[in-house]
């Protein structure tokens, strides 16, 4: 054992010995100090966790407190099960927006997950190094582009193209919005999945190839399953972004409070409706409360989806 | 004995680096051949030339001839996946997939088109029995493979390799990451397997080579220094470098 007690070599002339003596002190030994700093660190961790929960709770309460005021004038059934949103004439049915958000998010994920995973597989497993080194930073840049820009692209390029393709006079609607959202979340999902796939240890690939598996089998039956939790995480992030995205959606969805009968019919979702109306409503009107309630529903949907994905992941993740 | 694997003037380069130099070795069928030599002398490299795992390393280049059962495995007609199906490989670090025990063993057969639960169940059981792991895991084949101990994981990897019904088993220091008891179990296992498989094992543990192999090849800096029956090589090494190595003077 090395003697760490500075009092025994107090005669040591070296500065190191001196400073050692100062910081550790004679009574306050290393062990106690360690225990104390461990405790402190624990407290900080617990404290920040509690703080985060508190913030989340505050947000929920804040939205809900104003939101529930809706129901002093509107019945629950009307709000949740009617598609008639016409506040000027006292109709407050929010079902169109709720369904719209669910449909838009699902459609977006349906398109973007397969494409993103294929891009990620390409980046991580098949692309030559120089191309990978080019594409990764480009994708990272795309993540940071403001959503209005994507909205403009949708307006000027996508919508005219969809009009031609579908023959509708207005092509604004769920398809246009979900394509714009797909382009927005694609870089996020594919880059995080790419990192997850790249992090799969080579020993699994070696094992698969040594068994005579080909590249396709190795990637799809070994590498992707091993990267599953990382890909799930990427999907959650992408989905959270898609649910909450407002600007780009407002620009291409058509903003009409009607249940769409096709993917090319103008409609509205929770976010687009809130942002279109919130600045023109009176502060203590039912209309305003209704928009708050819709904000709360948005929050609830995104939290529920994230929890659902977590549960799915836990179930599937037994072997990882 | 009829040679089964024949290497003839085999050279391998990693870019500029000359890793295997004019290697000519003949390996007999249904016996254990051990490659010994100090770290970095090219044992793993040589093993990987036998199932063409070096194809995966960018910049690796092979010259010369490797024939298995008379067929040049580097000729254009050879289908790499079919070749690897005939040659199982066990790695230094146990590397079961993060899947269940069952799925690990069934993985190979499935990739080669074997379907049907009954057939797969049979193959899994038979392979696990061959790898002397069956009794330890038969109660719950759905358990994650990664919950097994290191020694069990390595035997699972052997079972997984056996499940595709290979002729040859390559073992690259398969026991070096394991404790003595697990090592002993795997040595016992190779002893049983050698009647059915041609086993090529790399080890830097000379006692292990002496214990389990029939043929030993001593390797140094990418060159074959000496190749003989194991007993002969350890008792009367011809080359002084072999003598130095097996008496523990270097390596
Ligand atoms: N992928 C590789 N690229 C370049 N050099 C390599 C590679 N793999 C091994 N080598 C080199 O080839 C030599 C032999 O390596 P290896 O076959 O792993 O030796 P051993 O298994 O006997 O320890 C070493 O000098 C090593 O540095
Ligand atoms: Mg090695």
Give residue limits of the domains in chain A: 22-72, 94-282+304-316
Distance, CA of B158 to CA of B172 (rounded, Å): 12
Distance, CA of A189 to CA of A109 (rounded, Å): 10
Q: Is residue B138 part of a domain?
A: yes
On chain B, the residues whose CB falls within 8 A of the CB of A319 are 98-100, 103, 144-146
Between B117 and A320, the more confident residue is B117
Helix (H, G, I), strand (E, B) or coil at B190: helix
pLDDT of A298 > 50? The answer is yes
Task: Tell me which residue has its CA closest to atom 27 in ligand 1.
Answer: B40
> Which residues, other chains included, contact A223 with Cβ-Cβ below 8 Å and sequence gap of 6+?
A121, A125, A197, A200, A204, A205
A203 and B160: CB-CB below 8 Å? no
Task: Tell me which residue has its CA closest to atom 2 in ligand 1.
Answer: B14
Q: pLDDT by residue (tens digit) across A163-189?
A: 998 888 888 999 999 999 999 999 999
Q: Is residue B251 part of a domain?
A: no
What's the pLDDT score for residue A1?
A: 38
What number of CA atoms fall less than 13 Å from residue A271's CA on the CB side?
22
pLDDT of A4 > 90? The answer is no
B85 and A212: CB-CB below 8 Å? yes
Please identify, by atom number, the ligand 1 atom nearest to the C-alpha of residue B17. 5
Q: Which of A26-40, A86-100, A137-151 has the lowest mean pLDDT?
A: A26-40
Distance, CA of B217 to CA of B223 (rounded, Å): 10
Task: Tell me which residue has its CA closest to atom 3 in ligand 1.
Answer: B14
Specify the CATH number for the domain of residue B231: 3.40.50.300
Distance of CA B107 to the CA centre of its chain: 19
What's the pLDDT score for residue A118?
A: 95
Q: In what order do the strands lie in the sheet with B223-229?
A: B87-90, B168-172, B198-202, B32-36, B215-220, B223-229
Domains: count for chain B: 1
Torsion, Cα B190 B194 B199 B205, to 10 degrees, reads: 40
Taking an 8 Å Cβ-Cβ cutoff, which residues of chain B contact chain A?
A: 51, 53, 56, 81-85, 88-89, 91, 93, 95-100, 103, 107-108, 111-112, 144-146, 157, 160-161, 164
Distance, CA of A223 to CA of A35 (rounded, Å): 42
Q: pLDDT by residue (tens digit) across A202-259?
A: 999 999 999 999 999 999 999 999 999 899 889 988 998 999 999 999 999 999 889 8
Please identify, by atom number, the ligand 1 atom nearest to the C-alpha of residue B14. 4
**Nearest ligand (C-alpha, residue B176):** 2
Q: Which of B13, B16, B17 to mutate to test the pocket of ligand 1 (most atoms within 8 A of CB)?
A: B17
Q: pLDDT by residue (tens digit) across B24-64?
A: 999 999 999 999 999 999 999 999 999 999 999 999 999 99
Burial class (CB in 10 A: 0-12, 13-18, 19+), B168: buried
What topology is assigned to A94-282+304-316 in CATH? MetI-like fold (1.10.3720)
> Which residues, other chains included, contact B71 with Cβ-Cβ below 8 Å and sequence gap of 6+?
B78
Q: Is residue B40 part of a domain?
A: yes
Q: Which of B41, B43, B45 to mutate to test the pocket of ligand 1 (most atoms within 8 A of CB)?
A: B45
B99 and A210: CB-CB below 8 Å? no
Helix (H, G, I), strand (E, B) or coil at B215: strand
On chain B, the residues whose CB falls within 8 A of the CB of A228 are none
For residue B22, the enclosing domain spans 3-246
Is the pTM value of this prediction over 0.95? no
B160 and A211: CB-CB below 8 Å? yes
Pocket around ligand 1 at a 6 A CB cut-off: B 14, 17, 19, 37, 39-45, 57
Eight-class DSSP state of B115: -
């Amino acid at each position: 054992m090395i003697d760490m007690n500075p009092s025994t070599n107090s005669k040591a002339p070296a500065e190191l010995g001196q400073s050692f003596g100062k910081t550790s002190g004679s009574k306050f030994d290393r062990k106690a100090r360690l225990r104390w700093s461990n405790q402190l660190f624990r407290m900080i961790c617990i404290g920040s966790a509690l703080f985060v929960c508190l913030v989340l709770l505050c947000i929920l309460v804040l939205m809900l407190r104003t939101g529930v005021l809706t129901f002093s004038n509107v019945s629950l059934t009307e709000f949740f099960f009617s598609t008639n949103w016409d506040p000027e004439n006292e109709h407050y049915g929010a079902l169109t927006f709720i369904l719209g958000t669910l449909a838009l998010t699902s459609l977006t994920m349906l398109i973007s997950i397969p494409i993103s995973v294929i891009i990620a597989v390409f980046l991580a497993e098949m692309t030559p190094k120089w191309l990978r080194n080019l594409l990764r930073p480009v994708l990272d840049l795309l993540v940071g582009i403001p959503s209005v820009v994507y909205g403009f692209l949708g307006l000027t390029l996508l919508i005219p193209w969809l009009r031609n393709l579908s023959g509708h006079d207005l092509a604004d609607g769920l398809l246009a919005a979900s394509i714009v959202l797909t382009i927005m979340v694609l870089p996020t999902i594919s880059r995080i999945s790419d990192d997850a796939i790249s992090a799969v240890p080579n020993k699994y690939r070696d094992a698969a190839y040594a068994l005579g598996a080909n590249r396709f089998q190795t990637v799809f039956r070994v590498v992707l399953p091993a990267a599953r939790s990382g890909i799930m995480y990427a999907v959650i992030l992408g989905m959270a972004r898609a649910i909450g995205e407002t600007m780009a959606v407002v620009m291409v969805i058509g903003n009409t409070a009607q249940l769409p009968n096709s993917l090319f019919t103008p409609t509205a979702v929770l976010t687009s409706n809130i942002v279109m109306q919130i600045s023109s409503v009176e502060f203590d009107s039912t209309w305003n409360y209704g928009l708050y309630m819709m904000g709360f529903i948005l929050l609830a949907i995104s939290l529920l989806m994230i929890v659902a994905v977590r549960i799915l992941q836990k179930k599937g993740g037994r072997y990882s | 004995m009829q040679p089964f694997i024949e290497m003839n003037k085999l050279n391998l380069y990693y870019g500029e680096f000359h890793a295997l130099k004019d290697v000519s070795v003949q390996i007999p069928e249904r016996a254990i051949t051990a490659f010994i030599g100090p770290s970095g002398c090219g044992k793993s490299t040589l093993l990987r030339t036998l199932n063409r795992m070096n194809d995966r390393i960018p910049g690796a280049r092979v010259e010369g001839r490797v024939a298995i059962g008379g067929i040049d495995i580097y000729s254009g007609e050879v289908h790499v996946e079919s070749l690897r199906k005939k040659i199982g490989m066990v790695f230094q670090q146990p590397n079961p997939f993060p899947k269940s025990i069952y799925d690990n063993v069934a993985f190979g057969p499935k990739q080669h088109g074997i379907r049907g639960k009954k057939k797969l169940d049979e193959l899994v059981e038979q392979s696990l029995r061959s790898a002397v792991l069956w009794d330890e895991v038969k109660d719950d084949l759905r358990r994650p493979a990664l919950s097994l101990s290191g020694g069990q994981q390595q035997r699972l990897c052997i079972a997984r390799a056996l499940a595709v019904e290979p002729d040859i088993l390559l073992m690259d220091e398969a026991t070096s990451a394991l404790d003595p008891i697990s090592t002993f179990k795997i040595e016992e296992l190779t002893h049983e397997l050698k009647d059915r498989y041609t086993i090529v094992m790399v080890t830097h543990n000379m006692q292990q080579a002496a214990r389990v192999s029939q043929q030993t090849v001593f390797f140094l800096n990418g060159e074959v220094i000496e190749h003989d029956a194991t007993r002969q090589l350890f008792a009367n090494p011809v080359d002084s470098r072999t003598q130095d190595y097996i008496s523990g003077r270097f390596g």
